[in-house]
């Protein structure tokens, strides 16, 4: 009957390209925000994410293959509430462009759909009119802008946008939020 949309304020993501492509990310459960304080609190209890025992939700892509144009398909391992399962993943490349520091940024949106009960998220309540309060199906999406390289202009800079992680890995821009929680996902283009 209702869809709750939200995200995690505290998350990280890494994307590398080339022969050994990597996509992985994690979110701190305590940072969940669905714009409803009572529901935010309930989502952190053992009924849902159990933040005290499982403070992080993690994803690591295990297979990524380019389909056509800007579409990528694959699968990965989602760890939620201490359970790790393989889930299908769809990725759309939203584009590339220059940033303010002489580098290049890439935007992409990743989406997946899971059955929450597969991960031990079983709470529900019957409604007086029939049916249940929470659907078993949950959709997740993450819209991220990532640094694709370290420009020469950053060689002497200490600005955070110029500090890449080890090797060719780049951290996701934390200004964009990872959207997850309930059914249909929002999209940032």
Encode pLDDT of 115-152 as tens digits: 999 999 988 888 898 888 888 888 888 887 877 754 43
pLDDT for 4 equals: 73
Are the C-beta atoms of 43 and 32 separated by less than 8 Å?
A: yes
pLDDT for 87 equals: 95
pLDDT for 130 equals: 86
- Residue 150's region, left for phi above 0, alpha for psi from -120 to 50, else beta, is beta
pLDDT of 163 > 80? The answer is: no
pLDDT of 155 > 90? The answer is: no
Sheet holding 32-33, edge to edge: 32-33, 5-8, 178-181, 137-147, 104-115, 83-98, 71-80, 56-66, 22-28, 11-16, 170-171
pTM of the entire structure?
0.71
Q: What 3-state class would DSSP assign to 46?
A: coil
Poorest-pLDDT segment among 54-58, 85-89, 95-99, 117-121: 95-99
CA distances to 29, 72, 154, 163 from 110, in Å: 19, 9, 29, 24
Encode pLDDT of 92-123 as tens digits: 988 888 888 888 888 889 899 999 999 999 88
Among candidate residues 38, 49, 39, 162, the one with its CA nearest the CA of residue 100: 162
CA distances to 59, 128, 177 from 48, in Å: 18, 22, 20
Higher pLDDT, 181 or 86: 86
pLDDT for 86 equals: 96
């Amino acid at each position: 009957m209702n869809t709750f949309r939200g995200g995690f304020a505290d998350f990280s993501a890494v994307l590398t390209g080339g022969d050994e492509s990597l996509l992985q990310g994690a979110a701190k459960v305590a940072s969940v925000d669905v714009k409803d304080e009572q529901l935010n609190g309930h989502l952190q209890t053992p009924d849902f994410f159990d933040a005290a025992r499982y403070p992080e939700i993690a994803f690591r892509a295990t297979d990524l293959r380019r389909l056509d144009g800007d579409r990528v398909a694959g699968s990965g391992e989602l760890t939620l509430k201490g359970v790790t399962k393989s889930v299908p993943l769809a990725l759309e490349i939203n584009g590339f462009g220059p940033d303010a520091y002489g580098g290049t940024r890439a935007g992409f949106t990743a989406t997946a759909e899971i059955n929450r009960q597969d991960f031990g998220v079983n709470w529900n309540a019957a409604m007086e009119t029939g049916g249940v309060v929470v659907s078993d199906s949950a959709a997740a999406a993450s819209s991220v802008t990532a640094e694709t390289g370290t420009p020469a202009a950053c060689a002497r800079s200490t600005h955070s946008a110029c500090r890449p992680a080890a090797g060719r890995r780049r951290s996701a821009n934390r200004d964009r939020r990872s959207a997850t929680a309930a059914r249909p996902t929002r999209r940032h283009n």
